[in-house]
Chain A
Amino acid sequence: MSGVRAQRTENLTKDDDPDRDKTRGIRARQRAIGRELRRMYDGVVSEAVPDEFLDLLRQIDDADDAGDKPAEKKS
């Protein structure tokens, strides 16, 4: 086990350490995905809300008006 660690330490001093390159590659890739994701997320947030959502809330309103009647059966 310590032999493995020693070899890794030795590798870290070299420029061509495959583990470090791999880690860097993964981090760079995740940053790129993160940037793209944020761009997409912010883009959707700034979109106008489609009418179907407003209709849905309105329907909830109607159902609520009916439900607010004093004669409503309580569970």
Chain B
Amino acid sequence: MTGQHQTPSSGQQDSPEFKSELLALIPFLRAFARSLTGNQDAADDLAQETLVKAWQSRSTFTPGTNLKAWLFTILRNQFYSDRRRAWRQTPWDQDAAERLPGTSQDQAWSADLSDTARALRQLPDEQREALILVGAGGFSYADAAAICHCAVAL
């Protein structure tokens, strides 16, 4: 008998297909997370949290719309909510952060990265996000604005 199940187009994603699309977008999630955090471990944690949240919320994704933008929105929200929590819990200790050990490769990476990350941190949030999403991520201004929940400013 057919017809007793709802089709996936009713808003419920076909799971294997959704998962393979998630898999294909992991590199971009990692890159966006790295741009926001400036730190490889924190970025990968953030990207993984995003994957789990995306999976749990997959019924709210509208098939045929921009999955990458949807994922970036989840990641961005997670980043800011983690950051607010971190600021409440522990004040930033630059000296302690610099004493943390790392492999020489990591150090080369993070020394290189920290210049960019430091420069990025000096920008207002919306300028930093525009640079990341439009300049590096290749998003349109409209998509970038949707991800950041803000109007397109010209």
What residues make up the interface of A, taking CB atoms closer than 8 Å to B? 29-30, 33-34, 36-38, 40-42, 44-47, 49-50, 52-54, 56-57, 60-61, 64, 68
Contacts and interface: CB of A to CB of B under 8 A. Distances in A.
Contacts of A52: 44, 48
15 contacts: A33-B119, A37-B120, A37-B136, A40-B35, A40-B113, A41-B31, A41-B132, A45-B27, A45-B31, A49-B23, A49-B26, A53-B48, A54-B23, A60-B19, A60-B51
A12 to B, nearest CB: 23
Given A41-B31, A53-B48, 10 more contacts: A33-B120, A40-B31, A40-B34, A40-B35, A40-B113, A41-B136, A44-B27, A44-B31, A45-B27, A53-B51
Q: Is the interface of B mostly helix, strand, loop or mixed?
A: helix
A18 B137 CA distance: 33
- 9 closest A-B pairs by beta carbon, nearest first, are A41-B136, A44-B31, A34-B135, A36-B116, A38-B136, A45-B27, A41-B31, A33-B119, A45-B31
Q: Is the interface of A mostly helix, strand, loop or mixed?
A: helix
B55 A44 contact: no
Contacts of A57: 19, 22-23, 51
Contacts of A34: 131, 135-136
Contacts of A40: 31, 34-35, 113, 116, 136
B135 A38 contact: yes
Interface of B: 15, 19, 22-23, 26-28, 30-32, 34-35, 44, 47-48, 51-52, 55, 113, 115-116, 119-120, 123, 127, 131-132, 135-137
A37 B19 contact: no
B28 A45 contact: yes
Contacts of A45: 27-28, 30-31
A50 B29 CA distance: 13
A38 B31 CA distance: 10
A45 B127 CA distance: 22
Contacts of B30: 44-45, 47, 49
